[in-house]
Amino acid sequence: MSFQVLEKDKSSKARLGRLITAHGTVNTPVFMDVGTLGTVKALEPRDLVETRAQVVLGNTYHLMLRPGAEVLELAGGLHKFMRWNGPILTDSGGFQVFSLAKMRKITEEGCRFNSHIDGHEFFLGPKESMAMQRVIGSDIAMVFDECLPYPCDYARAAKSVEQTLRWAKVSKDQPHADGQMVFGIVQGGIYDDLRRHCAEELVKMDFDGYAIGGVSVGEPEECMYQAVDASIPYLPEEKPRYVMGLGVMHQMAECVARGVDMFDCVLPTRIARHGTAITRHGNVAIKAAKWIRDQGPVEEGCDCYCCRNFSRSYIRHLLACNEILGLRLLTIHNVYALNRFMEDMRAAIAAGNFMEFKETIKKETKGK
């Protein structure tokens, strides 16, 4: 398992990379498709292949509750359980420390939760998280961390960073599955000095890669870029860098220009279920009445299965009738759209015109 920087953009910090995992090679920059419960919602593994997905995410917290470690161990791990042969990255459950704040209590050893499903109490800390990720058998395991809310005062952020660093050390020291890489997570909120401190201390622990966490939690866009800018300079060039929870085209392009290699987000599947399509000219509400007679594809020029075969009119009809096929086809389009976008971004870096590509994306998707 290794990461190699293949080419660097001359006008920015963008780079092409190759991440070799136990279940295949990943070309970076990459968008990773979220499959929280062992499925990218509405899609089969063969759909993921057709939509050019490279990596699927699973979530340790959710998979621990359902189906549980015993079932996954019996199945031989998540790859075999969900019949996906490509790389899998697992979130540690640390985000749930943030998102389930009203249902948990944090201690030095970890976090005591009440299940969001049935309310039963259970414990998740760095040891438990890494043990579960070992059972899952993911190619990339994330350390257990504490994700900060926005806004967050400095004293609270500083205390949380120290907790995250202690948990990172415990996570690193746990046994891992064969070939499993482990990534550290930089926290620190909007405070540059805390971001630097967290990054420098994590690098001393020598992880296989590094994520920038605590973004996309309600902060303004400029604060998200600030968090990236405050972290990247202190992360090693030879290791992959991952911004967690980001899936908006122009934001990913901006972060790639800053030297980021990996992204993930529930956005493409979530907004598909609400009738919205991702396109190069911004998001489009396919449920809108204006598409009722439109015989064009969801996105002109797109060659995904949905756009090759079905019209906006038909997709809108399915959505209006609450037919499952409608959200499935729109999900296929959205997942393909972001994976194709990353392919085009990699091509722009290789061709030496990445900055032009970035500005075009910004103008087309933001209207600026």
| Set 9, 33, 91, 145: catalytic member | 91
The percentage of the chain sitting over the pLDDT mark of 90, rounded to a whole number, equals 90
- Does the N-terminal peptide bond of residue 87 adopt cis geometry, omega within 30 degrees of 0? no
Average pLDDT over residues 232-241: 98
| Percent of the chain with pLDDT strictly greater than 70 | 99
**Other CB atoms closer than 10 Å to residue 314's CB: what's the count?**
18
> Do 177 and 314 fall into the same domain?
no
Is 178 designated active site?
Answer: no
**Could you tell me the pLDDT band of residue 14, with boundaries at 50, 70 and 90?**
very high
Residues 91 and 184 in one domain: yes
Convert the pLDDT of each residue in 324-368 to its tens digit: 999 999 999 999 999 999 999 999 999 999 999 999 999 998 753
User: Which of 235, 265, 295 corresponds to the end of one domain?
Assistant: 265
The residue range of the domain holding 356 is: 266-368
* pTM of the model as a whole: 0.96
Check whether residue 141 and residue 173 sit in a common domain: yes
Number of structural domains found in the chain: 2
Domain boundary at 206, 238, 265, which? 265
Q: How confident is the model at residue 114 (pLDDT cuts 50, 70, 90)?
A: confident
Section 236-246 average pLDDT: 97
Shared domain for 314 and 365, answered yes or no, is yes
Q: What is the mean pLDDT of the chain?
A: 95
Question: What is the residue type of 66?
Answer: R
For residue 97, pLDDT beyond 50: yes
Q: What are the helix (H) ranges across the chain? A: 45-50, 60-65, 69-75, 78-82, 94-99, 126-136, 154-173, 192-205, 221-231, 249-257, 267-272, 305-309, 312-320, 324-351, 354-366
pLDDT at 123 over 60: yes
Residue 248 and residue 276 in one domain:
no
Does 234 share its domain with 358?
A: no
208/282 same-domain check: no
**Residues 6+ positions from 73 with CB-CB distance below 8 Å:** 135
Q: Interhelix angle for 354-366 vs 324-351, to 10°? A: 150
Residue 9 appears among annotated catalytic residues: no
Do 261 and 301 fall within a single domain? no
Q: So what's the pLDDT on residue 115? A: 81
If asked whether residues 250 and 279 sit together in one domain, one would say no
Average pLDDT for 271-280: 97
Reference 198, options 153, 245, 146, 239; nearest CA is: 146
Catalytic residue among 9, 208, 261, 264: 264
CA dist 4 and 249 (Å) reads: 24
Examine the pLDDT at 34 and tell me if it is beyond 90.
yes
Tens digit of pLDDT for each residue in 41-78? Answer: 999 999 999 999 999 999 999 999 999 999 999 999 99
In tens, the pLDDT along 277-327 reads 999 999 999 999 999 999 999 999 999 999 999 999 999 999 999 999 999
